[in-house]
Amino acid sequence: MKKPIYGCMGLGGSWTRDPLSTEEQKKGETIIEAVLENGITHFDHADIYALGKAEEVFGNFLKQHASLREKLFIQSKTGIELHAGVFNSSRYNLSHDYVLNQVDSILKRLSTDYIDALLLHRPDPLTSMEELAETLHLLKKSGKVNSFGVSNMSVSQIIRLQKYLNEPLISNQIKLSLDHSILIDLEVWVNREESPKEAGLSDLLNYSNQHNLSIQAYSPLAQGKFSLAAKMTENHRKTAELINSLAEKYQTTQTALLLAWLWKIPANIQPIIGTTNLQRIQDSAKAGQIDLSREDWYDLWISSKGKILP
C-alpha cells in the first residue's frame, strides 16, 4: 500500500536561535513514533527547518533507536540561506564549499553517517551545473549521500544538471495539491485563455514519467484551505462540501481523500505530509487504500478550478 513521506518541518519548535527544549524533543519523539506506528518510514528534512532543530530532534531519537536506521529512508535538503544580507532575505547557495559544509552539519544533527538522499532546495543562478555535479559526485564517493534529487526545479534545470551526473536524479519536490494543481492544469488547459502561467512546470509530468523521477508533492493538503471555514473563499467552500460528501461515500476522511486525489494521477507522486496532528497522521497513512473513481477525481478538480471543461 502506498504511504506518504513524513515532512519534519514541524519538529523542533520555533525558528529561532533558541536551543532545542526538552518539551519540543518529547513532542517530536511522540510524533515520530506515531509516524512509524502507521507504517511511514520515509522522512523529509531540510537544514533550515527550525534552524536545524528539526534534524536535531530526529537525531536524538535515532540515538535511542539505532537499530531503526537501516529501516528508514532519510532525506534532507540544502541550498537556502535564511535571513541573509542587508535585506534579511533568503539567498540560494549551491556552491561547492557551502553544500559540503551543510551536509556535514546535517549528518551531525541527524546522528547518522549517511543520508539516503540529498535534495537541492532551490536553484542557485550563481552555481554552474557542472560544478554542482562535481560536488555531488564527491558526496556520493565519500559515502555521505546515497542519491540525489532536486526541489522547485524546472525540466530545463534538471536536464542541465543531469547532463553532468553519472547517475539519475531520483526526485523533484514541488508544491502540488487539489488547490495548487498547475502541474496538472498545464497538461489539459492547452490553447485556452484560462491556461495557467508555465511556472517552470511545462512537460515536468511527462519528463518525470520518462525518467522515473518521483514528484514529491509538498503542501498536498492545501494548507487546510478546504477545512478552515473562516478563511474559505466561496469556491473553497463548495469544494470542501464536495470533499466532505465524497469522504462519506468512501468512508474516509478529508485528509485521506486529498491524498487519494494525488495518487490517482498516473505518475510516481509521493505526497509529503507535515502535520503534527496524530489523527491526521493516521488518516494520511490509510489514504493509499482509497480507489478514487475517475468521475470523482474530475469532479474534485473541476470544482477546485471553478471552471467547467469545454
DSSP 13-74: S-SSSSPPPHHHHHHHHHHHHHHHHTT--EEE--TTGGGGHHHHHHHHHHHHTGGGGGG-EE
From the first residue on, what is the mean pLDDT of each consecutive set of 10 residues in the chain (310 residues)? 96 96 98 98 98 98 97 98 90 98 98 98 97 98 98 96 97 97 90 80 94 97 81 87 97 97 97 96 96 98 91
User: Is residue 201, in this structure, part of any structural domain at all?
Assistant: yes
User: Is residue 139, in this structure, part of any structural domain at all?
Assistant: yes
User: What is the predicted pLDDT for the residue at 113?
Assistant: 98
User: Is residue 246, in this structure, part of any structural domain at all?
Assistant: no
Total number of domains in the chain: 1
Identify whether 98 is a catalytic site residue. no
Q: Which of 6, 49, 92, 218 is catalytic?
A: 49
User: Is residue 122, in this structure, part of any structural domain at all?
Assistant: yes
Q: What angle do CA 9, 10, 12 make, to 5 degrees?
A: 95
User: Is residue 239, in this structure, part of any structural domain at all?
Assistant: no
DSSP SS3 for 291: coil
User: Is residue 245, in this structure, part of any structural domain at all?
Assistant: no
- pLDDT of 104-146, one tens digit each? 999 999 999 999 999 999 999 999 999 999 999 999 999 999 9
Q: Which domain holds residue 23?
A: 5-233+256-290
DSSP string, 215-249: EEEESTTGGGTTT-GGG--HHHHHHHHHHHHHHHH
User: What is the predicted pLDDT for the residue at 233?
Assistant: 84
User: Is residue 73, in this structure, part of any structural domain at all?
Assistant: yes
How far is it, in rounded angstroms, from Cα 109 to Cα 256?
A: 32
User: Is residue 15, in this structure, part of any structural domain at all?
Assistant: yes
List of residues 6+ apart from 300 with CB closer than 8 A: 178, 239, 242, 243, 246, 261
C-alpha cell at 172: 523533484
List of residues 6+ apart from 35 with CB closer than 8 A: 6, 43, 281
Enter the pTM of the model.
Answer: 0.96
CATH number, domain of 205, equals 3.20.20.100
User: What is the predicted pLDDT for the residue at 165?
Assistant: 97
